[in-house]
A and B are shown apart, each in its own frame.
Chain A
Amino acid sequence: MTANKKDPVVVVLQLTGANDYLNTIIPYTNGHYHDSRPKVGIPQDTVLPIDDELAFNPNMGPLKDMYDDGKVAIIHGIGFENSPRSHFRAMDIWHTCEPEVVGTEGWVAKVVRDLDPQGENVLKCVNFGQGLPRALALRGVPITSVSNLESYGVMSSVPGISSEEERNRLLDRFARMYAPAIGTGATMDYLGQTGRDALRGADIIKAAPEKYTSTIEYADNGIAKYLRDVVRVHTADLGTQVFYTSHGPFDTHFNQPPMHTRLWNEVSGAIRDFFDDLREHDAADNLIMMIFTEFGRRVRDNGTGTDHGAGGGAFIIGDNVKGGMYGTYPSLKPEDLNQGDLDPNYDFRGFYSSVIDQWLGLDPVPIVGGKFEQIQFV
């Protein structure tokens, strides 16, 4: 097991439900923006300007501060051709890098496989949340998925089993029941592998909460809780190189302003606390966070919300990221729109490739299924 603290680490944050990019990085001096969004548009005098064209959403103050410190890369116009407006399909494409067929193998899981080809460290990738996103699905690649870091463990609840010796005997039997067995089918094989990995992972990860102390006080919301968990596991030096978590729902068809405000307050505050916490532990320099969502939202609002769109944006954040803006913000001119939506001009697989190649030092081509234009963010 490699447990070198300076191995590169990636945190993937998924904004579930399709974040409205136009109200995240706002073309605040563009007349088309204000014309298209009489109710959902954000007033010019409240935004946090980057330059004389683009500005952060007013609820992203902490991220604006990090941007000014040169730690945030903004990637404009991300997406893919013939972008489906279905959450279902679009998220699957992001998760599997398969825009043409329905894929079942997750790109993050392929990264984990290449980082740890023998599957030696079951904590190489840790997901925080309920259930496993498809990005992490690949038979044979162990992923530890934790909904509650405090109570993670197996056979911990059998009544009448009090002595350590009795419990160890049960754990041994569990391990044998989950041993590889010939001819019982793919799902039984998968269950066996998952059970054996869970046994090993639980033994190791239980040390993380015990070691951690911090002066950072996180807010009380889901993303803050999980990013704190990321710090607890990262600083425990268990060899984890990929973390995955998500927040939402960003599906703001209706009554968008208060929802979108709350969500970005939560996300921005949690990210600020997260990086402050990492720095307090001298553990920020080998970690980056990538943020994505399934697609952007329609340019013209539908009243108080916005429908599913196409082109959006993504972020890479970290102390060793070359901050700034990458790519071109898609045109808002009516004649340039794609069915009323921003036309994506940067393939999301290039975004993935940049991180896989420049940060993790792996070959991105087999993972994302081809060669795509990278951004030089390191």
Chain B
Amino acid sequence: MPDKEEIALIAHLMRRAGFGASRQELEERAANGYEATVEELLHPEEQPAIDDDILYRYLPGYEGALGPPINQAEWVYRMVNTQRPLEEKLALFWHQLFATGNSKVDNPPEITQQIAMFRRQALGSFRDLLVELAKNPAMIWWLDNNGNHNGAINENWGRELLELFSMGVGNYSEDDIKDASRAFTGWTIEPKIPRNPLGRFYWNFEYRPEDHDDGEKNFLGHTGRFNGEDIIDIVVKQPATAQFLARHLYNFFVADEPQVPSWNINPPNDPDAVNQLVAAYDESDGNLRSILRLLFNSDFFKNARFARVKSPAELVVSTVRMVGNYQEPRPGFNMLAMECNWQGQELLNPPSVESWHTGGEWIDGGALVRRVNFAAGLLGDTSLPGVRTIIAGLRHRGVSAPEEFVDACLDLVGPLEFSGSTRSELLAQAAEDGDLNWDTEEETEKSEKKIGVMLALIAASRDFQFA
């Protein structure tokens, strides 16, 4: 059996590079070793994809005319059941970075196509991803590039490309924005089929040379008759872009950073780590697989356990994966998507192009109440398969007295590293409840109830909010 430290390290990796893993999966992966696990995660194409036929059968509206819940449910199903955890986690990363919202797009299947594009581009070059993003119909509509015309620019996309998607504020001028916008004139979508009365249809990218401003542009010190791809080629070579992407990766995969708008004032918490990521960006020409290989194998990553507040999607999906009641498509996925929404992260509908604030800002009174109730309600349910497995594990280990009971629960749910003060409350609860005992049916039932309460308290704790 792999040693405890190896299990704990791989559990950390799977929380960050995926949505957590069961004890059995952790032990299997630990047997292969940490670096081999990283390599497997970095090559999702070698693992089976989600079976689309099953999705078509159970969620037939997801790429058709129906409303947002179906599409949100479809994504949550993929997050819960994927065998390509990093691919799905990166789709969430890019969604949080390139925040596109249904409040304006009003076409959830089209945003779902954008998420599918993120899966395809997740581990390639950042340059190609930005080009695909610029051609993505949901993004074009979201940031009005369909209204960006030769002689009458709409600078929404041009501005956000620089401010929120690549370089960050303070690294370009208003004139750079105007000429970047000129370069993307003519990048639009085919005329849409009206939504009423027939429903929503996919949109398609269209390049209209006659509406493209082919004149000379000045952009970040370069001069030429630039088109959109030329702008992106210049953008991805900027040191500010490498720094910006490195910091986003650090904030999402390693440890919570200050909020994005303060980045041009507050330096990174761990400048050396960000510098290493920037170096990996430069050496690989912005290849995401290379950057993430460095990240997951670094000491700064391995030492950053429980240094991030889980996003609502992470909390919901990882809890559901642990209790194991959602392997098949079923109506409950709508509610899981709504749960993310109520905890403050409505998938496919971020509050604005600024995206969600992360870290401690996921938490407020309302969000904390929902997080606690959701996780405690599932982990405290002794009828669910994943909880049955934990109960069986506790019986198998023969734990009985308070201390071994609490520590075994923390081990099997994580392994989790809890603060001394929380652990002492759990110990007090276990002492009050009395030893576990499996001698009779009645005692077994009582012991199972004690376990349910203990797991609910673990899920309700402050410490559980961290990944």
B422 within 8 A of A: yes
Bound-state CA distance A273–B62 (Å) is: 37
Q: Confirm or deny: B69 has a beta carbon within 8 angstroms of a beta carbon on chain A.
A: no
Contact A160 B449 (CB under 8 A): yes
Nearest CB on B from A139, distance (A):
9
Q: A187-B360, A253-B154 are in contact. Are A177 and B377 (CB under 8 A)?
A: no
Which residues of B are found within 8 Å of A144, using beta-carbon distances?
365-366
Question: Which residues of chain B come closer than 8 Å to A142, judged between CB atoms?
Answer: 365
Q: Which residues of B contact A186 (CB under 8 A)?
A: 360
The CA-CA distance from A174 to B360 in the complex, in Å, is 20
Q: Could you pull out 26 A-B pairs where Cβ atoms are within 8 angstroms?
A: A16-B352, A17-B352, A88-B354, A104-B259, A127-B366, A131-B357, A132-B367, A154-B373, A160-B452, A161-B380, A170-B453, A174-B457, A177-B421, A177-B460, A177-B461, A186-B360, A187-B256, A190-B360, A198-B369, A201-B365, A254-B144, A302-B152, A305-B147, A305-B154, A307-B154, A307-B155
The answer on a CB contact under 8 Å between A145 and B367 is yes
Bound-state Cα–Cα, A160 to B155, Å = 57
- Looking at A87, A102, A202, the one whose CB has the most chain B CB atoms below 10 A away is A102
* Docked pose: A249 CA to B352 CA in angstroms: 8
B376 touches A147 (CB 8 A): no
In the bound assembly, the distance between CA atoms of A10 and B358 in angstroms comes to 28
A85 to B, closest residue via Cβ: B159
A296-340: CB near B (< 8 Å → 1, else 0) gives 000000111101000000000000000000000000000000010
What distance in Å separates the Cβ of B347 from its nearest Cβ neighbour in chain A?
12
Chain A to chain B: the 8 pairs with minimum beta-carbon distance, closest first = A157-B377, A145-B366, A181-B421, A132-B364, A253-B144, A102-B262, A131-B344, A191-B462
Contact B419 A181, beta carbon cutoff 8 Å: yes
Q: In the complex, A86→B146 CA distance in Å?
A: 20
Contacts of A137 in B (CB 8 A): 361
Q: A147-B342, A173-B429 are in contact. Are A158 and B465 (CB under 8 A)?
A: no
Residues 155-179 of A at the B interface (beta carbon under 8 Å) = 155-161, 170, 173-174, 176-179
Assess the A254–B351 pair: CB atoms within 8 A: no
Are A132 and B361 in contact, with the CB atoms below 8 A? yes
Q: Is B356 engaged at the interface, CB distance under 8 Å to the other chain? A: yes
Within 8 Å CB of B425, what residues of A?
173, 176-177
For A302, the closest partner residue in chain B by CB is B154
Report A's interface with B, CB cutoff 8 A. Answer: 16-17, 85-89, 92, 101-102, 104, 122, 127, 130-132, 134, 136-137, 142-148, 152-161, 170, 173-174, 176-179, 181, 184, 186-188, 190-192, 194-195, 197-198, 201-202, 248-249, 251, 253-254, 302-305, 307, 339
B419 touches A131 (CB 8 A): no
Contact, CB under 8 Å: B360 / A143: no
Least Cβ distance of B315 to chain A in Å? 13
The residues of B that contact A86 with a CB separation of less than 8 Å are 159, 163, 169
A131-B377 contact, Cβ under 8 Å, with A158-B456, A304-B147? no
Q: Is the CB of A153 within 8 A of B369?
A: yes
Contact present for A143 and B365 (CB under 8 Å): yes
The answer on a CB contact under 8 Å between A170 and B457 is yes
- Contact yes or no, A87 B352, CB < 8 A: yes
B60 shortest CB reach to chain A, Å = 28
- Please tell me if the beta carbons of B377 and A130 are within 8 angstroms of each other in the complex: no
Contact (Cβ within 8 A) B309 A160:
no
Whether A198 lies near B368 (C-beta < 8 A) is yes
Q: A131-B367, A176-B425, A191-B465 are in contact. Are A157 and B373 (CB under 8 A)?
A: yes
Contact B169 A89 (CB under 8 A): yes
Within the assembled complex, what's the spacing in Å between the Cα atoms of A127 and B344? Answer: 13
Q: Which residue in A156, A177, A302 is a CB contact (below 8 Å) of B422?
A: A177
Contacting pair B147 A187 (CB below 8 A) = no
Min Cβ gap B35→A in Å is 31
Beyond A85-B159, A160-B449, A254-B154, whether A130 also contacts B346 by CB under 8 A is: yes
Apart from A132-B366, A197-B365, list 12 A-B contacts with CB within 8 A. A88-B164, A88-B352, A144-B365, A158-B376, A173-B457, A188-B462, A191-B462, A201-B365, A202-B369, A248-B103, A253-B154, A304-B147
By the criterion CB–CB under 8 Å, are B377 and A159 in contact? yes
Chain B residues positioned under 8 Å from A132 (CB to CB): 361, 364, 366-367
Q: Within 8 Å of chain A (Cβ to Cβ): is B137? A: no
State how many angstroms separate the Cβ of B434 from the closest Cβ of chain A. Answer: 14
Q: How far does the alpha carbon of A17 sit from the alpha carbon of B143 in the complex, in Å? A: 13
CB < 8 Å: which of A143, A174, A303 contacts B364? A143
A127→B364 CA distance, assembly (Å)? 10
Distance in angstroms from B451 CB to nearest chain A CB is 11
Say whether A251 contacts B363, CB under 8 Å.
no
Report B-chain residues with C-beta under 8 Å of the C-beta of A102: 261-262, 265-266
Q: Which of B430-467 contact A (CB under 8 A)?
A: 449, 452-453, 456-457, 460-463, 465-466
B131 within 8 A of A: no
Given contacts A88-B354, A152-B366, A307-B155, contact A159 B382 (CB under 8 A): yes
Q: List residues of B (63-116) whose CB comes within 8 Å of A's CBs.
A: 101, 103-104
CA distance A136 to B365 in the complex (A): 12
How far in angstroms is the closest Cβ of chain A from B380? 4
Instruction: Give bound CA distance, A202 to B373, whole Å.
Output: 13
Residues from chain A with Cβ under 8 Å of B449 in the complex: 160
The winner among B149, B342, B422, B465 for most chain A CB atoms within 10 A is: B422
Is B419 a contact partner of A184 (Cβ separation < 8 A)?
Answer: yes
CB pair B147–A303 under 8 Å, yes or no, is yes
User: Residue on A with the closest CB to B462?
Assistant: A191
